[in-house]
Amino acid sequence: DTEVTQTPKHLVMGMTNKKSLKCEQHMGHRAMYWYKQKAKKPPELMFVYSYEKLSINESVPSRFSPECPNSSLLNLHLHALQPEDSALYLCASSQILGEKLFFGSGTQLSVL
Amino acid sequence: AQSVTQLGSHVSVSEGALVLLRCNYSSSVPPYLFWYVQYPNQGLQLLLKYTTGATLVKGINGFEAEFKKSETSFHLTKPSAHMSDAAEYFCAVRGQGGKLIFGQGTELSVKP
């Protein structure tokens, strides 16, 4: 299994809602990542987990809250988002930090 | 600090023609370099990577890239373009803490 599975594929939420994005991999990878990607732009790193510990937070606003419950799962909790947070959110994993990342297909998020 | 510059935000080739996508990097340490491809509405997929050793790297789908230290380049090539190669291509360098630093991307169009 070489897949990173993200759910949901699409999400529409209001600015007062609370929602969560989920990511799962069963490749035994110990590094997991959240990226944000705007249309026609490269992915921007948000968070990195290494061995289930948060190792990088790219000064992301607190309305985004990551969680790594175990080595296979990565969540991104969303609360009080702004319309400018609308984007494609990509999860990735790798065996070695920063090498050969496997990406999921992403969650297309729209904030109204 | 590491950085990547992709020359040309859009490249158009005819089917069967040579594909050349340009990438120049800046790194204070020996670089780890990557090319990723992103098809519409999908996540990124690793095409190839250079870490150490042979400077000509072969990847999937007939793509290859050559690491040239003297030119600080890592250009991506494919001898004969196929319609299915139309996508967004990102060059990336591994940064501190395992961060992947992406270039701005090059959109490849293939004309019949």
Q: Are the beta carbons of A98 and B105 separated by less than 8 Å?
A: no
What is the predicted pLDDT for the residue at A11?
96
Radius of gyration of chain B (CA): 13
Q: Are the beta carbons of B44 and A55 separated by less than 8 Å?
A: no
Of the partner residues A31, A55, A100, the one whose CB lies closest to the CB of residue B49: A100
Nearest to B36 by CA among A56, A100, A76: A100
Alpha helix segments (H runs only) across chain A: none
What is the predicted pLDDT for the residue at A8?
97
What is the predicted pLDDT for the residue at B27?
87
For residue A39, the number of C-alpha atoms closer than 13 Å in the C-beta half-sphere is 5
What is the predicted pLDDT for the residue at B21?
98
How far is CA A59 from each of CA A15, A56, A109, B35, rounded to the nearest angstrom? 21, 9, 20, 26
Q: Are the beta carbons of B97 and A104 separated by less than 8 Å?
A: no
What is the predicted pLDDT for the residue at A1?
64
Rounded (10°) CA dihedral A3, A32, A111, A44: -110
Q: Are the beta carbons of A98 and B100 separated by less than 8 Å?
A: yes
CA-nearest residue to B96 within chain A is: A98
Residues of chain B with pLDDT under 50: none
Q: Are the beta carbons of A98 and B94 separated by less than 8 Å?
A: yes
CB interface of B with A, residues 77-106, below 8 Å: 90, 94-95, 97-100, 102-105
What is residue B2's DSSP assignment?
A: -
Distance from C-alpha of A104 to C-alpha of B53, rounded to nearest angstrom: 29
Nearest to A5 by CA among A104, A86, A95: A104
What is the predicted pLDDT for the residue at B41?
83
What is the predicted pLDDT for the residue at A61?
96
Residues of chain A with pLDDT under 70: 1-2
What is the predicted pLDDT for the residue at B97?
81
What is the predicted pLDDT for the residue at A87?
97
Distance from C-alpha of B34 to C-alpha of B74, rounded to nearest angstrom: 9
Distance from C-alpha of A42 to C-alpha of A102, rounded to nearest angstrom: 16
Q: Are the beta carbons of B104 and A101 separated by less than 8 Å?
A: no
Of the partner residues A41, A98, A103, the one whose CB lies closest to the CB of residue B43: A103
